[in-house]
A and B are shown apart, each in its own frame.
Chain A
Amino acid sequence: MLHPVLTDSRRLRAYLVAWLLPTALLLAVPLATYPPGWRSILLVVVPLAALYAFVCLAAWYPCQANPPGTPLTRVLTVQLVAAASATGVWLLAGRGWSTFVAHWWPGAAEAFSRMLPIFALAGVFLYLLAAAAAYLHLAAEAGRDAERQALEAQVAAREAELKALRAQMDPHFLFNALNSVSALVGTDPPGARRMCEQLAGFLRGSLELDRAERIPLSKEIALVHAFLQIERVRFGDRLKFVSEIDEAAATIEVPPLLLQPLVENALKHGIAHLVDGGTVTVQAKRRGGTVYLVVDNPIDPDRPPSRGLALGLENVRRRMQATYGERALVVVDSKPQRFRVELRIPLEGAPAVVAGDQIGVAPVRPEPQ
């Protein structure tokens, strides 16, 4: 790891400013006891303090070599030896400097000799202080690393989950659509061509969406419309659909193919079982901080929703929570004649969904019909 202070000019400035305090203390003690020698004192203390500021920066290296977690006795030994060495080097330098300056200012050597005990104590103390600061920094860094790793793991897990849950189009839809095209080729060639175009449009759209993490709801709804157009050829008048989309809701972002499987289910488990078919309703509306997406369809009372459907909805619920967090809800309302799924998506930073709601697939309270 690079030196945290030497490689960062902002930290270096802050460190040097902090060193003004020990420098001031080193000046204050001799000045208080021997005011007349202030010139010698200044001449000796200021350059030495500046020098020691840089010596103490070296405390980082033994600390880094013995990071938090190293046995305490070893840490203490290493740091005390280092502190003694640093102090020794500093005092030698101090002796040399004061002797050198004494050529021009004879009081300097004597001032240094008198301050020697203070310098020795201060040297050890300041070095240990620097080491402690280095350890604090190392510990904080390690904590941040652990936090970042945990966060990264969380993000990776969520992405993996989303990938696993990624909704897939039922391939049988394609086979059935191609069968319809094949039929139209004989009876209605322009219709066959139109259907080929719709099919291509839908497939291209769904491939595009497949690559995106999130898409605007309006795109998802366009895809659902294309899907329903194609299925209408197959089901004929048995399939009617109504779509009520609030513009305020259409701008939110959703994971791709969030609604499409619900509409697919509405056809597969609803309309397909009804001799006369019925109406599939798709709604998107925004009330306060929540967007409500609803797919509602009639069902055959003799064919209660299957287990496969429940599994599919569980998948939708998990995708919702992986994308929007725990406050996102999937509310299933299963009546003898109708099946309705409501997705409640809280907008970011919005107040919680209506109090009292449960998380998960929960039957909604019965409403008067």
Chain B
Amino acid sequence: MIDAPALRVLIVDDEEPARQLLSELLAGEDDVELIGECRNGFEAVQSIQTLAPDLVLLDVQMPKLDGFEVLELLDSPPMVVFVTAYDEYAVRAFEVHAVDYLLKPVSGERLHAALERVRARIAAHETPVPATPLAREARPSGGFLERVLVRDGDKVHVVPVARVDYFEAQGDSVVLRVGTDKLRKATTLNDLERELDPGRFLRVHRSYILNLDRLAGLELYAKDSRVAILKDGTRLPVSRPGYSRLRGLL
């Protein structure tokens, strides 16, 4: 019988002792290859894309991007085992199809069991399910989107929604206008509209969601047709339903 290839594992945790402990525990496991360690969410997104690990041991609370946000940014996420001191993320973790959920302090036995589950899944040829839409669904109800994550090649932008002037639909993606920058994100305007605070962001047009903070005035430019003037002078078209929504809000 031919041995299965070694499991290639990436550790993602912002705390050095936590990484040390995991790597020490992994060293005691057979057929496991530690291929890297990351100290924050940005590094994790980059490393996962370049190293393509079989398994990521993923902390939840980290600088820049938390564990869930890391998964949201990946097109084809690897298998994930969350490692955290907090038990309240467990439900969310399984909603994004985590293989296991380990609590700190991490026990060697639990880690071993988690690795066994990963191997079983690989043997069954299960492929990890993309977490992107699920991570979004798992957002705690009542909370609105506060930050938009945009991946630009290897670079990740974290954009607080308050900094976005407007969102514009372009083909099958959405462009965020942030001051003088434009960032493209693979999503739809409808998805964004559902997640944004309706008191702060308004769909003024089929192709535009406007940050109401930026609105300076409205202008009638033809019968039944208006434009929104932004504080920086930008003009955006306002549709008839967009106008009635705007009036309802103001």
Chain A interfacial positions (CB closer than 8 Å to B)? 172, 175-176, 178-184, 186-187, 233-236, 272-275, 300, 302-304
Contacts and interface: CB of A to CB of B under 8 A. Distances in A.
B86 to A, nearest CB: 6
A180 B13 CA distance: 12
Contacts of A179: 15, 17-18, 21, 85, 104-106
Nearest to B41: A275
Interface in B11-32: 14-18, 20-21, 24
A234 B24 CA distance: 17
B103 interface: yes
A274 B63 CA distance: 5
A186 B24 contact: yes
Interface in B134-172: 146-147, 158-160, 162
A186 B20 contact: yes
Contact of A176 (B39, B42, B104, B146): B104
Interface of B: 14-18, 20-21, 24, 39-40, 42, 61, 63-64, 85-86, 103-106, 146-147, 158-160, 162
The A contact surface, by secondary structure, is: helix
Nearest to A174: B85
23 contacts: A175-B103, A176-B85, A179-B18, A180-B15, A180-B17, A181-B105, A183-B21, A186-B20, A186-B24, A187-B20, A187-B24, A233-B17, A234-B18, A236-B16, A272-B61, A272-B63, A275-B39, A300-B64, A302-B147, A302-B158, A302-B159, A303-B147, A304-B162
By Cβ-Cβ distance, the 8 closest A-B pairs, closest first, are: A183-B21, A183-B17, A175-B85, A179-B104, A180-B17, A179-B105, A178-B105, A183-B20
Given A172-B85, A186-B24, A234-B17, A178 B39 contact: no
B85 A182 contact: no
A264 B17 CA distance: 19
Contacts of B15: 176, 179-180, 234-236
Nearest to A184: B17
Nearest to B162: A304
Contacts of B16: 236
A236 B13 CA distance: 13
A234 B162 CA distance: 33
A178 B159 CA distance: 35
Nearest to A235: B15
